[in-house]
Amino acid sequence: MTFKITQAKPAMKQLSEAPTIDPSAVVVDCEFGVWTEIGPSTSIRESVMGDYSYVVNDSEIIYSDIGKFVNIAAHTRINPGQHPMDRASMHHFQYRSSAYQLGDDDPAFFDWRREKRVKLDHDVWIGHGAIVQGGVTIGIGSVVGSGAVVTKDVPPYTIVTGIPATPLRPRFDAEIVDALLRICWWDWDHATLADRLDDFRRLPVRDFCLKYDLR
């Protein structure tokens, strides 16, 4: 006996204003906006996530400020751990000393880590397997390509790729970028988004800007 399966997939998830957090996710000391989502086997600590943003599976985020409508793909690292390369040793025993029964942990080291927060601005897309190093800001509407390692700030509406990440091209010309930054559609409320959904789907970006850039 054989079975022909043309399509098999889980039922579509239904999000809500309350954060949707997978049971396998780890969340510590975070703040979330509405319509946010944390995917399976993802860890997020001491971070803020704005409205409508999400991260899918197997990712790690710490000490980060995430704007609205941010798209974070699987297997990403936002603000990965650093080691003290200027010391005689880089090993954990110096700052996670209690785990090795050597003494108290080193709070100054962790304070140093917390100072190097990452900022992902609104409508950013972090591609599969990308890494964003501590202290970096990713500008509004930018794209980080899959597998990229971002070590420097990224201007708004810029696509970066590679190791280390470098600009590939702008998403739009300067006129459109300026218009989108004036429109600030990411600040529209839920009812307005619903009312204008068809324009997001069907209008070319230049026509979208002509309609909503009320200078």
Query: pLDDT digits over 22-54, tens only?
Result: 999 999 999 999 999 999 999 999 999 999 999
Active site residues: 83
CA gap 50, 201 in Å, rounded:
22
Mean pLDDT by 10 residues, the chain (215 residues): 62 84 96 97 98 98 99 98 88 91 90 93 99 98 99 99 98 98 98 98 98 87
Give the length of the chain. 215
pLDDT at position 69, please?
99
- Residue 108 CA to chain centroid, in angstroms? 27
What is 20-79+116-171's CATH number, 2.160.10.10, 2.70.98.10, 3.40.50.720, 3.90.180.10? 2.160.10.10
Burial (CB < 10 A; 0-12, 13-18, 19+), residue 196, is: middle
What are the sequence ranges of the domains in the chain?
A: 20-79+116-171, 172-215
pLDDT at position 109, please?
87
Radius of gyration of the CA atoms of the chain, in A: 20
Q: What helix, strand, coil percent values describe the chain, rounded to 5? A: 25, 25, 55
pLDDT at position 21, please?
96
pLDDT at position 212, please?
97
